C-alpha cells in the first residue's frame, strides 16, 4: 500500500527532514485562502487506497492560531477520507490543548478530551505526537490508537558532550514532570554507562501564577544539571528552577525541552546567567526569537525528524488493511 506524506506547515524544515529520512516526497496539496479568511485544502494527488500521514504542528503563530491550524488539519484529514484514503494518520509534533488535561477549577473545560473527540469525528485512524504534557492523560483521552514519541533520544549527542564536563544529573522543574525526567535519567545511564543523578524542584501554578521553585529534592552540588521539561513558554519555570539549582551548588544548568514556544518575555528569562545553555527540538520553529541576544548565543536546536520517520515507518509497515 502506498504511503503518502503531506505537510500543512509551509516551508517546515521538520517535515522536509521527515521526508528525507523516509525517502518519500512530500505530496502536493492546494491551500487556497479566500478573502474572508476561509481556506480550502485539497490533495493534488489521488489518495484512493493510500496510507496517508499528515504533518501539522499546532502551535500558535506567526500566521495562524492553534484554532486555525487545528481546523485546517481536521478538514484535510476528512477530505482525504472522503476521497478514499485507506487510512489517515495525524502527525502532530506539538499538540495544542494538551496541557488542559484535567479540571482544576469549578466548571473547567477538558480541552485535551475535546480535541481528541474532534480528531475521532473526522475519522482519524491514529495520532503521532511528540512529548505530550501528560502521557497518561494523552493516551486516555483518545479512543483511536496513539503513538507517543519521547524527545529525550534527540538530545543524546548534546548530553554526551555535557557529560564530558563531569558528573551530571537530570532534574524536573516541577512534581508533574518527575516521570519524564526519571525516564531520561534511566536512558542516559544506559547510554553513558555511568550513574546519573536526579533532582526535583517544588513548583506550583494556579490561575497562571507560579509559586514555589526554591525547594530542591536531590543532590546536585558540583554537577551539570539537565533541567528537563516538555515545553518552554515564558521561560520563568526554567529560570526559577535554574536559580534554585545554583543555590544548591549546581555547576551548570542546561534547560532542555521538547517544545520551544518562547512566549514573551522568554528571551529575557532564559538569558539569565543561572542558565548555562538551552536546548529544544524543531517541533516548533523559534520564530519568536529575533536578533543576536544572550539567548541566541546559548540556544541549541536538535531535529526530531528521524524519530518521526521511525514511527511513521513502523506504523506503515505494521498495518494490514
| Domains of the chain, start order | 3-150+306-317 (3.40.50.2020), 152-302 (3.40.50.2020)
d(CA 90, CA 67): 16
Q: Would you say residue 209 has pLDDT above 90?
A: no
Query: In angstroms, what CA-CA distances link 112 with 21, 235, 287?
Result: 30, 23, 25
pLDDT > 90: percent of the chain: 86
Conformation bin of residue 212: beta by default, left when phi > 0, alpha when psi is -120 to 50:
left
- Give me the chain's average pLDDT, please: 93
Q: Give pLDDT tens digits for 82-106.
A: 999 999 999 999 999 999 989 988 9
Task: State which H helix or E strand residue 115 sits in.
Answer: helix 111-121
* Grid cell of 119 as nine digits: 480528531
Sorted by sequence, the CB contacts under 8 Å of residue 302 that are 6+ apart come out as: 154, 155, 157, 158, 279, 280, 281, 282
CA dihedral 141→145→148→149, nearest 10 degrees, is -160
How far is residue 149 CA from its own chain's centroid?
A: 9
Interatomic CA distance for residues 233 and 212, integer angstroms: 18
- Considering the candidates 40, 100, 105, 203, report the single residue annotated as catalytic: 203
Cα separation values, 297 from 155, 213, 241, Å: 18, 26, 20
Cα dihedral 52, 53, 58, 64 sign: negative
Interval 29-56: pLDDT, tens: 999 999 998 999 999 999 999 999 999 9
Answer whether residue 291 shows pLDDT above 80.
Answer: no
Kindly state the cell numbers that stand for 262: 518562547
Per-residue pLDDT tens digits for 210-234: 555 578 999 999 999 999 999 999 9
Decide: helix, strand or coil at residue 78: helix
Nearest to 238 by CA among 213, 263, 219: 213
- Residue 100 is among the residues annotated as catalytic for this protein: no
Confidence of residue 63 (pLDDT cuts 50, 70, 90): confident
Confidence of residue 320 (pLDDT cuts 50, 70, 90): low
Amino acid at each position: 500500500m502506498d504511503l503518502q506524506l503531506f505537510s500543512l506547515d509551509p516551508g517546515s524544515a521538520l517535515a522536509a527532514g521527515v521526508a528525507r529520512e523516509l525517502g518519500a516526497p512530500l505530496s502536493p496539496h492546494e491551500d487556497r485562502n479566500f478573502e474572508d479568511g476561509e481556506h480550502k485544502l485539497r490533495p493534488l494527488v489521488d489518495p484512493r487506497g493510500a496510507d496517508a500521514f499528515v504533518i501539522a504542528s499546532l502551535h500558535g503563530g506567526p500566521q495562524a492560531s492553534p484554532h486555525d491550524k487545528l481546523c485546517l488539519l481536521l478538514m484535510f484529514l476528512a477530505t482525504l477520507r472522503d476521497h478514499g484514503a485507506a487510512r489517515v494518520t495525524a502527525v502532530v509534533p506539538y499538540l495544542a490543548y494538551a496541557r488542559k488535561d484535567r479540571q482544576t477549577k469549578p466548571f473547567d473545560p477538558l480541552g485535551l478530551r475535546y480535541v481528541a473527540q474532534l480528531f475521532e469525528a473526522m475519522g482519524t485512524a491514529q495520532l503521532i505526537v511528540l512529548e505530550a504534557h501528560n502521557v497518561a492523560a494523552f493516551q486516555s483521552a483518545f479512543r483511536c490508537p496513539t503513538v507517543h514519541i519521547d524527545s529525550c533520544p534527540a538530545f543524546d549527542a548534546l548530553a554526551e558532550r555535557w557529560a564530558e564536563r563531569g558528573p551530571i544529573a537530570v532534574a524536573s522543574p516541577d512534581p508533574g514532570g518527575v516521570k519524564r525526567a526519571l525516564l531520561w535519567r534511566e536512558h542516559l545511564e544506559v547510554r553513558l554507562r555511568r550513574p546519573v543523578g536526579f533532582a526535583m524542584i517544588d513548583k506550583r501554578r494556579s490561575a497562571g501564577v507560579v509559586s514555589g521553585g526554591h525547594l530542591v529534592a536531590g543532590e546536585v552540588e558540583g554537577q551539570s544539571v539537565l533541567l528537563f521539561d516538555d515545553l518552554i513558554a515564558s521561560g520563568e519555570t526554567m529560570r526559577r528552577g535554574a536559580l534554585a539549582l545554583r543555590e544548591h551548588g549546581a555547576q551548570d544548568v542546561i534547560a532542555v525541552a521538547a517544545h520551544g514556544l518562547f512566549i514573551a518575555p522568554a528571551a529575557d528569562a532564559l538569558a539569565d546567567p543561572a542558565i548555562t545553555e538551552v536546548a529544544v527540538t524543531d517541533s516548533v520553529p523559534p520564530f519568536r526569537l529575533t536578533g543576536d541576544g544572550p539567548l541566541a548565543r546559548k540556544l541549541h536546536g536538535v531535529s526530531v525528524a528521524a524519530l518521526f520517520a521511525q514511527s511513521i515507518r513502523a506504523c506503515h509497515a505494521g498495518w494490514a488493511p
